[in-house]
Structure 1
Amino acid sequence: MFITKFVERPGLGCAGRPIKVKANFFEVTYLADTKIHHYDVIITPEVPPTLNRRIYSQFEALFAGDIKPVFDGRRNIFTARPLPFGDTDSFDIYPPEDASFSIIRQPPYAFKFIIRKVAVIDMNELHKFLYGNCSLSSNILTGIMALNVLIRHQPFLNCKAIGRSFYTNQISQDCFDGVELWQGYRQSIRPTFTKIMINVDVSATVFHESNDLVLIVTKMLGRNIDDLRVGIKEKDRLKLEKSLKYLKIRIIHRGDGSRRSYKILNLTSTSASNTKFDDGDGRIDVASYFLNTHNRLLRYPFLPCVVIKNKTFLPLEVCEVVEGQHHIRKLNERQSADMMKFSCRPPQHRAYKIRQGLDILNYRQNEYMRQFGLEVSGEMTVVPARVLPAPKIHYHHPFFHDTTSFVTKDGSWNLRDKKFVTGVTLGSWACVAFGYFSIQIIQCFIRELVITCQDTGMNIQNMHPPIMQGNPQGNIEEILKQAWLKAGNTSKSHPQLILCILPNAGVPLYAEIKRVCDTIIGVATQCVQSKVVFQAKKQHCANLCLKINVKLGGMNSFIEPSQIPFVSQRPTIIMGASVTHPADESRPSIAALCASMDAKAYRYAASIRIQAGRQAIISDLAGMVKELLETFYQTCKVKPVRILFYRNGVSEDQFEQVFDLEIEAVRNACRSLDANYKPTITFVVAQKRHHVRFFPTDKKDSDRTGNCLIGTVIESTIAHPFEFDFYLQSHAGLQGTSRSTHYHVLCDENRFTPDSLQTLTYNLCYSFVRCTRAVSIVPPVYYARLACSRSMFHLRCENWSDPDSGSAYFYIVAHSRLQNVMYFI
């Protein structure tokens, strides 16, 4: 009997040192073997989920009797017993008289609440699934959904719900520019080894500060109110208008207890004392109107007015911002820094916050959960884990024509006394400084960079490259072409590299440099920020050397071949795929596939495609795989007999689509090359976007940041009931609580054991080319992400002068000179 179309777990691994860790999972200690009744709900007219819940609350109070139904805010209601009015009924729900329901204007001023019973869920089937006695069915999926709705129902009624998280201003922090940070919690039902668990994690997001609008405005502008008496400059007014548009405000001058809210449409271009309108008796300014009509002398008549519907003008001082409004605009640099500090907590603090969240969730006193017969442990689950040993890393021996190896400590190392395995020769290059820098400072930096490159084994033939200065707002393409010509003319050879010094970390200049050099000129580039140039530290230069050597075709280091036998013993290609979705849904998504091109799984090549925006499945995966298989054959002169494919960027509910479409696409690519070519395929999904966190139970099993040790692998207790998956923490924590990567095997024709796949995956994480530390996700996936990000700069709109015109986008491939090197690093 096949209980899954994916791979069943072949057993448990034993490699490494066994330890215990805590996971942010709380066991469901009791779940009644009952039937759950599922109802479909239609509420008209349609309103947002927050208002739906308020309408539902009135339905529950008036018509549910002693039954405690739970509601998902949209269409689904679940109950432990049948509702008292039969399988179908409809009700008129009259909303409370407040601002939230101001969208309803005309009589009868009621919502129609239509409810219909659609299913009865047998929870016994879920218990069978946990023990591996049946496959995942629609009944089980609906049962899991019902339990998720149950645990989220009460928090979502009492707190501010955003997505699957809820937030409370009880734990908040002021931020810059009129916003504040709120801490929240996210919880979800997870079926695991023989048990149901609840995964609880902290989250954080940004809300608009609830306060007087005048105070908010002064914070946004970073000015004192007295500084604004001379008026607001037009650029500041436009900044305010952009920030305040569609923000909900409440008026406070009437004194009638009105709680109605209004949306800000824009700001007036004139002050309240100069903004005039027709009040029926002639034209009057807003300040005079408020004095005559409301006996209110404005304190700040020099500030503009907000405009609400019907072109009504309101002075800022009679408005206050409604509480609990989610801030959805992009944060500025200061706000982002505050957000990082607020949310990036060390493991002990995060574990404390999670336990603190149980008091807010209050499972024991939850009357809804009691009625469904759900009881939850108050302690984090202790999970068996293992710490895998680190692999040996090879560098070139500084005194012999051979390599030397070493084992890292804590997953990181440095380049001191080490030389690259293959250091390239750099003879033709140039430097472009975008901005105005002292030539002496640039020369000092280049001197330090050249010395570091030579120390690490590169051969720098031209130690004094030509230096040019360019205007960051000028014609970037022309400047780079001139630099390319100057490099070639100076060395009488083909240019290899353009070193670009940037004035800041801004994206537009960087993007244009990469677009021009990647797609038009066809030369490697290395960008460096001005602050690095001014300091000229050895460590910064060493990091640049790592990237430059690889971009020019060199090899920095490699893993001991005996520790990656799957790759080294037979011709094997390792692939990593990812899809990037732009924030603007009118732009296309970009899919990238990176594949290894040698027996050491060190050099990679990339294949890029654009596809429909927000589409997760890779449309032309077969073409991309074929392209890289051909490149592998041209490079290695042999066809790979095994394929190990890591796929990033898909969620669990997309696994079946990936299995049906993408794995078949890989097979089709092989068949298109030769009908008899059938390499064995292992397909693994690698997920970073999850809310599973692990905490050491013993100090000796933690690193200096308090996180679990590098190499910690977890494959039982909180993993899938019977499918082949595991969590691997392959990097050393730098700050905050480290997030492991979740690997889930969908197809395995290579018949990996848990130890062999976990060890191979972990060891590969030490081969990432642009740093001297193990990384958090297997490198081919990391490279695919980098290739996606770089390719965003290669997109062009047919109507380049107006990208918002709805014109189609097209992708410009990298220049032929860069096709087989890792230009995207």
Structure 2
Amino acid sequence: MSASASSGPVITLLPRRPGVGRLGKAIQVRSNYVEIQQLPNIRITHYDVTVTPDVPPPVNRKVFDQFITTFKVSDLANSRPVYDGRKNLFSPKEFPFESRTFEITLTSDIQQHSKRPPPKFTLKVKKVATINLEELHLFLQGKSAQTNNCLTAIMALDVLIHHAPAMLYATIGRSFYTPAGKQPLAGPLDAWRGYYQSVRPAAGKMMINVDVSATAFFQSGNLVEMVAKILNLKTPDDLRRSTSPLNWKKVEKLIKGLRITVTHRERSSRSFKIFGITDKAASDTRFTSRLDKDDPQSKEVEMDIVTYFKDTYNMVLKFPMLPCIVVGKFVILPLEVCTVIQGQRYMKKLDERQTADMITFTCQPPNARANNIKDGLRILNFEGNEFLKDFGMKVSSEMICIKARVLAAPTVVYSSSTRESSFVPRDGAWNLRDKKVFQGATLGSWGVVVFASERDAPAPQINGFIRQLVDTCTATGMVIVNKNPPIAYMSPQGNIENSLKQIWIQAGNAVKSQPQLLVCVLPNTGVPLYAEIKRVTDTILGVSSQCIQIKHTRTPKIQYCANVCLKLNVKLGGTNQHLGSTMMPFITSRPTIILGGDVSHPQPGDTQRPSIASVVGSMDRFAARYAATVRVQTARTEAIADLGDMAVELLKSFFHSTGQKPERILFYRDGVSEGQFADVLKSEVAALKSACRRLDANYNPPLTFVIVQKRHHTRFFPNRREEGDKLGNCLPGTVIDTEIVHPFEHDFYLQSHGGLLGTSRPAHYYVLHDDNKFEADQIQELTYRLCHLFARCTRTVSVVPPAYYAHIVAARARFHSRGDRFSDTVSSESGASETSSYQTIKPELMKVMWFM
């Protein structure tokens, strides 16, 4: 750590930035940040707001708008405050009261033509604090810690920039969405483009991160049309003609909770919420009604919905055979008089077709994304924002231009017996032509199981594929002793565990030795069969498995077989590639273990299934081979609960594998947000230190703990075309550690991969603990070089491999639960039984990269 970084007051418990990096070719890039050129120089007053009755934020905002319209001049010192839609109000002027309750009547055009009285609300406003921005200025200049006052000031600025768009557009979190340029997804959904914005502290200044986002909304319009789309019918008329029974349960599940308006009443703009669907058709649904609604003494008669609409509204229903929707205790409506209101977000998981459509919609090349961000800046119109003017804040309307560096690629090494055994990759990619893996595994005992009939996958086809796979593996440096493994056909609907046990026994008997590998040919891409194969092979048989789709066996391609070979080699204990001996002195000069950790959580809303923690550790002096360990823990717990035991396991494995104790530890931790830094730092660094002491009271190797973040909205665009790749993305090795990073803590952005589609996302690395006293260049270069060692492809990857492997392991361990619980749509009945249903990986696999 540099002397200047360590001097001065203690303003953070995290490592200070040890200067900035110097290595690499200097370039300029644009980033999707705009600078706050002038922060408010006033005292901002923070108020707590309580709206009664409790309603969602969009209604709160309408109540707030009415409140300002009614009371701004008379009671609020003519102030123009901003509101977050929930509890927080920030005002550029102090109100002439500490606490006060206001009665609000929510009037609108709708009420003018309605017999219903307008809704009334109570809005209580109470002063919380006065925010002085002086502390924020000191923090940005690196002279003060990030105090609670700083955090509240940043929150106030965040609410300030979000207030105007939130009053005009559909708002979700930090993004607002507009229907302009929307595109249909499969079924009843549209993809809307949105614009994300967030106030971020940076080196010496505040920035606003602006990005494009997208989410799914229900299509607005006639409800009958929506129902036809839900049921995959071409037109609403098909609802009349459909011979097979329609799945109304599916329809009800999807439309429940939607808000609609009706078309049969003149001037009525009242909205209704859908509670369900009737069991009977409109023509069969009968109820009693008075002949004269205005006369309580009028005779009651029984009639059906069709007759009622003809008599009351002179309207002939076109779809009397369809059920009605329930919108109140005594209110039902025919589908065809209902119009779905625009701007209702779809909250469930998208299906495969919808996901593919959404990817097509969001996958934009860098230039298109940059132009869309500029469109967002025009819509945001910071210069014309009256709220910003009242607070005295000025914001640039141009994306910032910042210094970046492109680090040089390292020398990648394959087997010395090949013509091009070492080389420097270009643009983050290379191929296996004329190369053999550094250390080829030997495959003697294996079997093939085809989960299909011989008609769908004829024996000659499967034999031809196996021949090509064996030839490719041999050419790539593996030793295949048995070139004719036993092949069995099994039903994909049968007992998968028994099927795999049978072929495992056949494979062992064929060469009288323990099977090393089962190749499974699958009929489709469905999760259930794949998940069951992995559960059985990982936790019951203790054998590596490789799944292949039938379509790849029809005309075997060498490129595909080579990709499979890379996976097979490491699953059997081989090493695919490593870096030149001088490329990573931190790792090669002294025994060093590289760890990666991640926690995989169940889907939002799933309160039963547990979280899964995984840690991987390097097992050789090249950081090329890894072992993995897994634990099941309480759902939604971000810290790795059993990290101490997991670390002990991996440290022992490293010693058994290399014959040496690690003298240094470098831990890359995936999946931690900024709000969780303090908790993870406190628990996980202590657990790692404790694990070392458990092995030996005097064993205390220096530890560096780095967070890896992928879920952020920072993007980079090369300033000059020749400084980018073919798609227009920044080149692999682009690193940024100035201007948009933390004012004084040690973080950096690294775009380590070459883009294949759309705009590449850099990884954000944040050093939380550093006994190894890394200089900026050291940690940046080491991290980039490690990205060339991902075992299953000949490309650099977007995040450092140990973190990537830990993520893969945690996702794979989801399949290790007994029963049908691998699908995100299935929930468990008992959290306790769910946790105990997870099975551990067999010890035989622990020495190889079984998870690849």
Equivalence for 2:254: 243
State the 1:723 CA deviation. 1.0
The Cα RMSD (Å) is: 2.1
Q: Distance in 2 between matches of 1:63 and 1:389?
A: 62
Matched residue type, 2:443: L
Q: Please give the TM-score of this superposition, normalised by the length of structure 2.
A: 0.93
Matched residue type, 2:491: N
Q: Which range moves more in the overlay, 266-275 or 424-433?
A: 266-275
Matched residue type, 2:185: C
Equivalence for 2:587: 567
CA contact 2:233–2:239 (8 Å) conserved in 1: no
CA contact 1:731–1:776 (8 Å) conserved in 2: yes
Equivalence for 1:71: 83
Equivalence for 1:552: 572
Alignment of 1:143-162 (within 5 A): 143-162=153-172
Q: Distance in 2 between matches of 1:212 and 1:668?
A: 63
- Could you report, residue by residue, the CA deviation over 1:296-339 in whole angstroms, capped at 9, with x for unpaired residues? 11112233322333264322111111111001122222221211
CA contact 2:406–2:735 (8 Å) conserved in 1: yes
Equivalence for 2:522: 502
2:129 to 115, 119, 127: 119
1:448 to 447, 454, 468: 468
Equivalence for 2:143: 133
Q: Distance in 2 between matches of 1:183 and 1:511?
A: 35
Aligned residue for 1:215, secondary structure, equals helix
1:426 to 443, 450, 455: 443
Equivalence for 1:468: 488
Whether 2:299 is the aligned partner of 1:287: answer no
CA pair 99-592 structure 1, distance change in 2 beyond 3 A: farther
Q: Distance in 2 between matches of 1:655 and 1:799?
A: 31
CA pair 109-267 structure 1, distance change in 2 beyond 3 A: closer
CA pair 730-718 structure 1, distance change in 2 beyond 3 A: same
Q: Distance in 1 between matches of 2:831 and 2:358?
A: 36
Q: Distance in 2 between matches of 1:232 and 1:776?
A: 51
CA pair 568-443 structure 1, distance change in 2 beyond 3 A: same
Q: Distance in 1 between matches of 2:552 and 2:212?
A: 36
CA contact 2:326–2:332 (8 Å) conserved in 1: yes
Equivalence for 2:44: 36
Q: Which range moves more in the overlay, 273-282 or 362-371?
A: 273-282
Matched residue type, 1:33: N
Equivalence for 1:94: 105
Whether 2:429 is the aligned partner of 1:412: answer yes
Aligned residue for 2:757, secondary structure, equals coil
Equivalence for 1:435: 452
State the 1:798 CA deviation. 12
Q: Distance in 2 between matches of 1:813 and 1:480?
A: 18
Aligned residue for 2:582, secondary structure, equals helix
Equivalence for 1:822: 849
- Could you report, residue by residue, the CA deviation over 1:435-470 in whole angstroms, capped at 9, with x for unpaired residues? 222112111111111111111011112222221122
Whether 2:201 is the aligned partner of 1:191: answer yes
Q: Distance in 2 between matches of 1:617 and 1:39?
A: 34
Whether 2:791 is the aligned partner of 1:769: answer yes
Q: Distance in 1 between matches of 2:555 and 2:52?
A: 64
CA contact 1:387–1:712 (8 Å) conserved in 2: yes
Q: Distance in 1 between matches of 2:458 and 2:329?
A: 58
CA pair 235-516 structure 1, distance change in 2 beyond 3 A: farther
Equivalence for 2:767: 745
State the 1:218 CA deviation. 2.2
CA pair 232-39 structure 1, distance change in 2 beyond 3 A: farther
Q: Distance in 2 between matches of 1:661 and 1:241?
A: 46
Equivalence for 1:364: 383
Equivalence for 2:5: none
Aligned residue for 1:415, secondary structure, equals coil
Aligned residues: 817
State the 1:98 CA deviation. 8.3
State the 1:516 CA deviation. 0.9
2:21 to 13, 35, 52: 13
Whether 2:804 is the aligned partner of 1:782: answer yes
Whether 2:336 is the aligned partner of 1:321: answer no
CA pair 197-800 structure 1, distance change in 2 beyond 3 A: closer
CA contact 2:528–2:822 (8 Å) conserved in 1: no
State the 1:108 CA deviation. 10
Equivalence for 2:839: 812
Matched residue type, 2:758: G
- Could you report, residue by residue, the CA deviation over 1:473-524 in whole angstroms, capped at 9, with x for unpaired residues? 2111111111111111112211111111111111111111101111111111
Alignment of 1:266-665 (within 5 A): 266-277=276-287, 279=289, 284-310=303-329, 312-398=331-417, 404-436=421-453, 437-583=457-603, 584-665=606-687
CA contact 1:573–1:642 (8 Å) conserved in 2: yes
Q: Distance in 2 between matches of 1:534 and 1:163?
A: 48
Q: Which runs of 5+ in 2 are unaligned?
A: 1-8, 291-299
CA contact 1:397–1:418 (8 Å) conserved in 2: no
CA pair 240-98 structure 1, distance change in 2 beyond 3 A: farther
Whether 2:81 is the aligned partner of 1:81: answer no
Q: Distance in 1 between matches of 2:316 and 2:30?
A: 62
State the 1:260 CA deviation. 2.4
CA contact 1:398–1:417 (8 Å) conserved in 2: no
- Could you report, residue by residue, the CA deviation over 1:603-633 in whole angstroms, capped at 9, with x for unpaired residues? 1111211122112122121221122112212
Matched residue type, 1:335: Q
CA contact 1:522–1:815 (8 Å) conserved in 2: yes
Whether 2:745 is the aligned partner of 1:735: answer no
Q: Please give the TM-score of this superposition, normalised by the length of structure 1.
A: 0.96
Q: Which range moves more in the overlay, 479-488 or 88-97?
A: 88-97
State the 1:692 CA deviation. 0.4
Q: Distance in 1 between matches of 2:611 and 2:777?
A: 36
Q: Distance in 2 between matches of 1:709 and 1:559?
A: 20
Q: Which range moves more in the overlay, 329-338 or 548-557?
A: 329-338
- Could you report, residue by residue, the CA deviation over 1:373-430 in whole angstroms, capped at 9, with x for unpaired residues? 1111111111101000001111113359xx9211111111111111111111112111
1:27 to 35, 39, 46: 35
CA pair 399-773 structure 1, distance change in 2 beyond 3 A: closer
CA pair 800-117 structure 1, distance change in 2 beyond 3 A: closer
State the 1:803 CA deviation. 5.5
- Could you report, residue by residue, the CA deviation over 1:327-353 in whole angstroms, capped at 9, with x for unpaired residues? 112222222121111111000010001
1:181 to 183, 188, 191: 191
CA pair 279-517 structure 1, distance change in 2 beyond 3 A: farther
- Could you report, residue by residue, the CA deviation over 1:518-557 in whole angstroms, capped at 9, with x for unpaired residues? 1111111001112222231111111100001100111111
Q: Distance in 2 between matches of 1:77 and 1:35?
A: 14
Q: Distance in 1 between matches of 2:119 and 2:160?
A: 30
Aligned residue for 1:562, secondary structure, equals coil
CA pair 163-803 structure 1, distance change in 2 beyond 3 A: closer
Equivalence for 1:230: 241
Aligned residue for 1:273, secondary structure, equals helix
Matched residue type, 1:457: G
1:253 to 264, 279, 294: 264
CA contact 2:106–2:118 (8 Å) conserved in 1: no
Equivalence for 2:70: 62
2:228 to 218, 223, 228: 218
Matched residue type, 1:439: A
Aligned residue for 2:622, secondary structure, equals coil
Whether 2:59 is the aligned partner of 1:51: answer yes
- Could you report, residue by residue, the CA deviation over 1:138-163 in whole angstroms, capped at 9, with x for unpaired residues? 01011001000000011111100011
CA contact 1:177–1:222 (8 Å) conserved in 2: no
CA pair 322-32 structure 1, distance change in 2 beyond 3 A: closer
Matched residue type, 2:15: V
CA contact 1:394–1:421 (8 Å) conserved in 2: yes
2:734 to 688, 697, 712: 712
State the 1:807 CA deviation. 4.5
CA contact 2:531–2:822 (8 Å) conserved in 1: no
Q: Distance in 1 between matches of 2:288 and 2:705?
A: 70
Matched residue type, 2:38: Y
CA contact 2:57–2:85 (8 Å) conserved in 1: yes
Q: Which runs of 5+ in 1 are unaligned?
A: none
CA pair 311-504 structure 1, distance change in 2 beyond 3 A: farther
